[in-house]
Structure 1
Amino acid sequence: MVAYHDTEWGVPVSDDRLHFEFLVLDTFQAGLSWAVILHRREAFRQAFKNFYPHIVSSFDNDRMNRLMNNVSIVRNRAKIEATVSNAARFLEVQSEFGTFDAFIWSFTEGRTIRNRWPDTGDVPAFTRESERMSEALRRRGFRFVGPTVCYAYMQGAGIVNDHVTSCFRHEEVSRLARR
């Protein structure tokens, strides 16, 4: 958990495969602790073929049933089915916009939102931007992408910098922000 915070969380993402990974992990995290997901991240990578959406989108019922029997991941049928469906939607967005990255950063006009929260209790669960993102993804057929999941995704993918101001990563991540 510490290594993720100290090296990845909040660093702006531009790679579509990594966008898909973060989106999948945030989908599975809904209702659970982030520590549970991070502890199983490598198992998720193996189960979901390193998060290549063109591979995941081809998973059939037999493959999804095998995932339901994989004790190394979170076994939630609705989330597994949503991930396979979302992979196909992800590919559609790539086809339409050239990259998922171009689409997803459009919600912040291509720039990182750089917050200056003094305390973790000040960090919201969702924002107007995450609500807009959620609505747009749902219109495109994505599932398990409510405003809170979208905001967690935005934080992880560096679309928003929510490191509190007293955190050593706040300034480091601010220097990496898209402007």
Structure 2
Amino acid sequence: MNVDRIEKKIILNASREQVWRAISDSSRFGKWFGVAIDGPFVAGQEANGRIVPTQVDPEVARMQEPYTGTPWHVVVDRIEPMRLFSFRWHPYAIDAAKDYSAEPMTLVTFELSDIEGGTLLTITESGFDRIPLERRTDAIKANDGGWAHQAQLVKKYLAIEERS
């Protein structure tokens, strides 16, 4: 396993516009990701919220349930419409009693590209090599599994949105 980055690719049977809205609109993002976000995503600004179970998969929602109410904090890095959305955060920051603010953040990037029949979404999280050693392995392991789930959640979200 790479110790610095996680990368997940998923082919989505949806237009680039639909995928873009699902990842860059904070309300839509929150529905599939499992977070209630206090406002819109704006490049260079913080986005804050709290974990809530995803609205698109009951099994994943049950896994998220113990973390309901845990603060969620990102700094929006880049918004390049229809192509790239990225933010920085403290990975696996689930201990409400711990202050993670002095730790380095990882960079999460959602990149879109057209493919026949849909859109390829590449989710990359990098910068784990700077996370404190005592948290690094757990953070990589948790987020590797987490991004696998999240790739499926965005796919389910888009299928639900298309039916409604």
Q: TM-score, normalised by structure 1?
A: 0.30
Q: Which has the higher helix share?
A: 1
Q: Which has the higher strand share?
A: 2
Highest Rg: 1 or 2? 1
